[in-house]
Amino acid sequence: MQKSTQNKLIVIFTLLGAIAIGLIGYIYIRNISNISDVQQIINITKIYLLTALVILVIATFISIKIINKVVNKSKMDVATLEMSEHLKDLDKQKKQIETILQCMTDGIIAFDLEGYVTHKNLAAKRLLNLSDEDNDFDSVFSKLDVDINLEKIIYLEDWTSSDRKVNINDKYINLLFVPYKDNNQRPAGVISIVQDITEHVKLDNMRKEFVADVSHELKTPITSIMGYADTLLEGDYDDATKTKFLNVIASEARRMAKLVTDLLSLSRFDTNRSKVEKTEFDLGELVKKCQEKLQIEIDKKHHKVENLVTANVPLVYADKSGIERVVLNILSNSIKYTKENGTIKIYVGFVYNDAYIKIIDNGMGIPEEDLSRIFERFYRVDKARSRELGGTGLGLSIAKEILNQNGGTIDIKSEVGKGTEVVIRVPTKK
């Protein structure tokens, strides 16, 4: 209780005491004023003094009691207030932790020493397909093909965490088990962290596949170059044979050079180091130029190429050399993957804000199941045929990257035996 309140109570009780004594004194004086007997006055005085003393003692006692009560009560009030503030803080912290746990993408399950679940968040239920009945260590982990034991984690793993990888319905899950102790440093239970590492595993596999593909793609021409070079060194061949062998060596070396150039381009896209210099240019003219560059190949296969440019196609605004690379790749694919005497139609037109080039061939086409993967690096419908025709399997993935950089798109429609239609869109400057 505050000092001022205490002082106020003391003043009130002193006043009450003074009033009581004054009242007794007043009654006393009134009583003795009519009495003449001295002895009687002395007796009455004694009685009054005694009464005043008794009242004083009782008043002091009562006032002390009341003050104590009030002091205790106010002390209790303060303690209760502090306690409830503390409880509120604890509740707030608990709710914060619960919300964090529920919002986490990693799953968390806490087990006590007996293996009972004391807490599990939504992510854990979702990742491990847990029901509300799965409330102990065995029922949570026995369904999974994982060799794990609660006692072993708590008592044998020497307070280090242990982890296991499991496969659940196409998902790769990493389970991390961390034992925890109570305030007296005695084992109290185990926390299990459930992480979805599917994307990580997929990326890792893709990286491994990519390294394997690159090695394989480079090994094939190297083996061939080494084979022909050794043969030439060992034997004495006529000029015609030598020229034949040297031609093979030259074409294999060119293939390796193309592969390395393509890989470097992709690496530049991946690290955002490729330069895009956008200019305004005419798509129809670019297509004509690409056709001229590939005329030798077109003639070799006796293809008929029709080139139709719709009137009034506005200038496009993009990286000219990049778009040229895309068109050369798509057109050379049509030439490569169409049997002799094929027909290739090229349309240049304009829709909304984009100019487009449509290249349609009547070649071998692409099976439906391969269409969705055609833009993946090194993906080829027929590896042997593509390699034979000088392909690296990187052309379409590079085309897609270039169009992405330029705000354009590429779409492929195809039917096996009938042909393929590739449409690229390039933005025009407004």
User: Which residue of 123, 374, 402, 426 would you call a contact of ligand ADP, by CB under 6 A?
Assistant: 374
Q: Does 329 bind ligand ADP (CB under 6 A)?
A: yes
Q: How far apart are CA 48 and CA 54, in angstroms?
A: 10
Query: What is the Cα–Cα distance from 59 to 17, expressed in whole angstroms?
Result: 7
Output the smallest distance, CB 267 to ligand ADP, in A: 16
Choices 81-89, 103-111, 147-155, 360-368; region in contact with ligand ADP by CB under 6 A = 360-368
Q: Judged by CB, which is closer to ligand ADP: 302, or 418?
A: 418
The residue from 196, 319, 361, 401 that contacts ligand ADP (CB under 6 A) is 361
Q: Does 406 bind ligand ADP (CB under 6 A)?
A: no
**Can you give the length of the chain in residues?**
430
Number of H helices, E strands in the chain: 13, 12
Other CB atoms within 10 Å distance of the CB of residue 354? 17
User: What letter would DSSP give residue 185?
Assistant: S
> Binding to ligand ADP by residue 391, rule CB under 6 A?
yes
Where are the extended beta strands (E) located within 214-312?
A: 278-281, 304-309
Q: How many CB atoms lie within 10 A of CB 95?
A: 10
Q: Does 333 bind ligand ADP (CB under 6 A)?
A: yes
Q: Give 327 or 364: the residue with its C-beta nearer to ligand ADP.
A: 364
CA angle at residue 202 from 198 to 207, to 5 degrees?
150
Minimum separation from the CB atom of position 291 to ligand ADP (A): 15
The interface region with ligand ADP, picked from 78-86, 105-113, 313-321, 379-387 by CB under 6 A, is 379-387
CB of 352 closer than 8 Å to CB of 408 = no
Element at 403 (helix H, strand E): helix 395-405
Q: Where are the beta strands (DSSP E) in 243-353?
A: 278-281, 304-309, 316-319, 343-351
Give the whole-angstrom CA distance, residue 24 versus residue 97: 69
* Tokens matching residue 393: 């399997």
Among the listed ranges 93-101, 277-285, 303-311, 391-399, the one in contact with ligand ADP (CB under 6 A) is 391-399
> Is residue 305 at the binding interface for ligand ADP, with CB under 6 A as the rule?
no
Judged by beta carbon, residue 13 or residue 378, the one nearer ligand ADP is: 378
Min dist. Cβ of residue 212 to ligand ADP (A): 17
Q: Is 420 in the site for ligand ADP (CB under 6 A)?
A: yes
Residue 334 binds to ligand ADP (criterion: CB under 6 A): yes
> Where on the chain is the footprint of ligand ADP (CB under 6 A)?
329, 333-334, 337, 361, 363-366, 374, 380-382, 386, 391-396, 420
